[in-house]
Structure 1
Amino acid sequence: MGHLFRHQEGDAAPPPALANIPAPQASTIDYDWILISGFIIVLTQVGFAFIEAGSVRYKNSQSIVIKVILGLFLTILIWWLFGYGFSFGYDFQTNFMGGTKLGGANWEANQFGNDYTNFVFRASGAAIAVSVLSGAAAERMTFLAWSILSIVYAGFIYAGLAHWTLAKGWLTTLGYKDFSGAGVVFFAAGVAGLVVTVLLKPRRFRFDPNTTLQFQRHSPIYIAFGSILVFAGWLFYNGGIVAQGANSKYTQGLVAVNTLIAGATGGFFAFIIRYFQYETTSLVALSRGIVSALVAVSAATDDMKPWTAFIYGLLAAVFYSVLAKVIPKVHIDDPVEVVPVFLGNGFLGIFLSAFFDTKAGVFYGFGAKLLGLQLLGLLIIFVWVAFFVLITLLILKGFGVLRIDSETESVGIDKAQCLGEAIVFANQIDEAPLVPKTELVKLGNSQIGSGFRPGFR
């Protein structure tokens, strides 16, 4: 029993003082923070799935969620194989695209960098870009075409842009500034979305003045839920870029404050604008305003004052409200409003940063150099994305696999290809024909639990 009383007074050295305990290395803290941020960003896919499912008609809500999840999986895989290497691999001084670190080869984790942590964060960001693009293809694109487009966009088109900017490539060296991707992620995805929705053409009868079909969003509540989830995830998306080892604690807090202020301002003023336009409240406008402001403020969240974030949010709400009204008038069918939210406000954010950036902006006495560089960067992004997305879509169209057939569009993708509609109403009536009893016999019990309830038709 004597060993139980070994540590008597005077028999052992006193415990070390708290001040003498080594603090965790800054680099370790940074890597942990970036990794956690990457985990949370992946969860924003739930938010995008809600937003897109709520924005389409009920008969296509299941299929759009499948495309969001499919896009996430394909992005992770193609980024592991090619995208990460193209973005952050060594480019042999070509300044075009990386050529090392493909398929996880020669990844490193040391005091100079951690490819594993960086992959998680950057791949989750690439998945956001692909999710944005999926909204533009809503209700019209085939699963095959969407899968191919996702792979090409994430693995090549976006990866190239990331190498030029996020990996401090030639465009960043030239002087173009984009904190977390207002241009390279969101404006680029908006441009791709514009090309997609124009080439796919509108949904059948969408702009036919004589149609009796309804094209209303089936769940504004889903859109609101999704937008709040995206809002929360955006704090980690912007915050994960700010590492303590390279930035002050002030900058870390500033990024979070600016993100919160911009999102709140955008949502509030989009809500107010819609009320004065139509004398009615709009949950959709409130939700779209949040995301629009988050897109815009991502251009320079670390180099602006909080009052500037307020201005960004206000102007983003105005920009969204105007574009959301104009886009349908030119017969662009954009159910998820990718163009006004992402293309429009991605442009707005990059443009405004040329004036409000505290280190190089016009309003801080630095002249118009940054303005020219920002516009040049946007032009380069537009041309790069539009060209390769268009080529990809034309090839898919040439093989006849781009757009769903008219029968599938009429009955709904969910019913035609997803074992039944996810949401069915007792009194629903659409242009889809009733399923004959002989077909029901063939379907058998495979539809149980799928949401397919023809008896309610």
Structure 2
Amino acid sequence: MASLAQFSELQFALNTFYLLISGALVMWMAAGFSMLEAGLVRSKNTTEILTKNITLYAIACTLFLLVGYGIMYRGNDAGGIIPSLALLLGEADSEASHALAADFFFQVVFVATAMSIVSGAVAERMKLNAFLLFSVVLTGFIYPVEGYWSWGGGFLKSAGFVDFAGSGIVHMAGAAAALAGVLLLGPRLGKYRRDGSINAIPGANMPLAALGTLILWMGWFGFNGGSQLALSSYDDANAIADVFVNTNAAAATGAISALLMTRLLWQKADLTMILNGALAGLVAITADPVSPTPLWAAAIGVSAGVLVVLSIIALDRLHLDDPVGAISVHGVVGLLGLLWVPVNNSEASWSAQLLGAFSIFTWVFLCSLLLWWLLKVCIGIRVSAEDEYQGADISDCGVEAYPEFSGSGKRN
């Protein structure tokens, strides 16, 4: 018969392995964001958007390692507003430090996800250097502070705010940062005509956009399922199974409802809206994928798919240029997901959810607005009109993604 110590070791090994594999799945979402955004921007900006996504992931991993994780999880200020600063580095080689390492790896990929949301919204007209400098502050300070308020045991946790895997903490926060950038940046050249009408600017590669969405859909099982944080008990295993089913149901009905909305509005099946509908369903269910029944999860997905189409249309009419619909998918629907929680979770209340949403949005938006403004004053955040016309691949990266099609590539 196995000893209690052996059983404990097995539990530790299973939980740690599950957390690491979930983190790897979430890391795969970086590829999803890269492909989605590369498909939805014009071909002349493809290399630059891929450079952003690779580099922001590297920056997020480094800054969260040095300071972000310490701010978010090791401040030891239960119920507080301002966390104390602690470093991840220098831990003793013990079982506790190994558990900390697994948790760090799982959490760091969430930080990169929040920053990836910003990337798509400011695509095609932002300077690469300004974007990367912003990512340093967001991943090292802005995100960890609001994350501490709930997941780190701060005042939102004490107030009863519920956000299981980050509809608000990750997705709405990323959208808030993106909105601040879009307001100061302005729209792409030619997006809105002088008479106020909207000029659609289609993406260059729909197969890539669809691939990116499917990768994100897959990675979301790690995003939501891994947030259970443990696998080794009967209750944990059942909860994870529920999370997988509900996550998948919400994504599916989000895509279907977005399809039906586009058919109703334009008598066409708009692929970009369908993709965003699936992502909207995923964002909405992320706030609490454990409590709902599968039918309720499907209903959440339906509401998200309808709302994201209406939100994208509304923001476009307000002349807020978001090439990939990130603000609607992650911000507007992120709020919807938070407000769905009390319907199925008796431990949650609308007052606590509204407090959490307001606190997170206000903090991230105001900090981001200030930071974008400082960058605008100091180094500028927008490329020149000539560089925008030419494309960021040439002006920022010096490498075209599709040189054969532009005529600049050498033929053998």
Partners of 1:47 and 1:233 in 2: how far apart?
A: 8
Change (3 A) 1:136 1:109: farther
Gaps (5+ residues) in structure 1? 1-16, 362-369, 429-450
1:420: Cα distance to partner?
A: 3.5
Q: Secondary structure at the match of 1:102?
A: coil
* 1:395 match: 374
Residue among 374, 380, 388 paired with 2:359: 380
* 2:402 match: 423
Amino acid at match of 1:173: S
Matches within 5 A, 1:265-344: 265-344=253-332
* 1:241 match: 227
Residue among 50, 57, 61 paired with 1:72: 57
Residue among 222, 225, 229 paired with 2:215: 229
Change (3 A) 1:167 1:94: closer
Q: Does 1:263 align with 2:251?
A: yes
Q: Does 1:360 align with 2:347?
A: yes
Between 1:410-419 and 1:335-344, the stretch displaced more is 410-419
Residue among 179, 185, 188 paired with 2:164: 179
1:4-25: CA deviations, max 9, x gaps?
Answer: xxxxxxxxxxxxx899995552
**Is contact 1:87–1:97 with CA below 8 Å preserved after alignment?**
no
1:204: Cα distance to partner?
A: 1.5
Amino acid at match of 1:88: Y
1:247-273: CA deviations, max 9, x gaps?
Answer: 432211111111111111111221122
**Is contact 1:144–1:401 with CA below 8 Å preserved after alignment?**
no
1:274-293: CA deviations, max 9, x gaps?
Answer: 12221122221221111111
1:98: Cα distance to partner?
A: 4.2
Partners of 2:64 and 2:77 in 1: how far apart?
A: 20
1:97: Cα distance to partner?
A: 4.5
Between 1:121-130 and 1:246-255, the stretch displaced more is 246-255
Residue among 131, 143, 161 paired with 2:116: 131
Residue among 67, 71, 74 paired with 1:86: 71
Greater relative contact order (CA < 8 Å, ≥ 6 in sequence): 2
Partners of 1:112 and 1:95 in 2: how far apart?
A: 24
* 1:149 match: 134
1:52-77: CA deviations, max 9, x gaps?
Answer: 11111111111011001110000000
Change (3 A) 1:318 1:28: same
Amino acid at match of 1:453: G
Larger-Rg structure: 1
* 1:158 match: 143
Between 1:252-261 and 1:204-213, the stretch displaced more is 204-213
Gaps (5+ residues) in structure 2? none
Change (3 A) 1:43 1:290: same
Q: Secondary structure at the match of 1:25?
A: helix
**Is contact 2:198–2:316 with CA below 8 Å preserved after alignment?**
no
Residue among 84, 93, 101 paired with 1:116: 101
1:314: Cα distance to partner?
A: 0.2
1:28-75: CA deviations, max 9, x gaps?
Answer: 211110011111211111100011111111111110110011100000
Partners of 1:380 and 1:337 in 2: how far apart?
A: 23
1:338: Cα distance to partner?
A: 1.0
Q: Secondary structure at the match of 1:208?
A: coil
Change (3 A) 1:334 1:20: closer
Between 1:417-426 and 1:123-132, the stretch displaced more is 417-426
Amino acid at match of 2:344: F
Change (3 A) 1:322 1:425: farther
More helix, by proportion? 2
Partners of 1:100 and 1:244 in 2: how far apart?
A: 31
Q: Secondary structure at the match of 1:87?
A: helix
Partners of 1:107 and 1:139 in 2: how far apart?
A: 46
* 2:409 match: 453
Report the number of matched residues: 407
1:287-335: CA deviations, max 9, x gaps?
Answer: 1111111000001111211111011100000101111111111111000
Partners of 1:20 and 1:326 in 2: how far apart?
A: 59
Partners of 1:414 and 1:216 in 2: how far apart?
A: 17
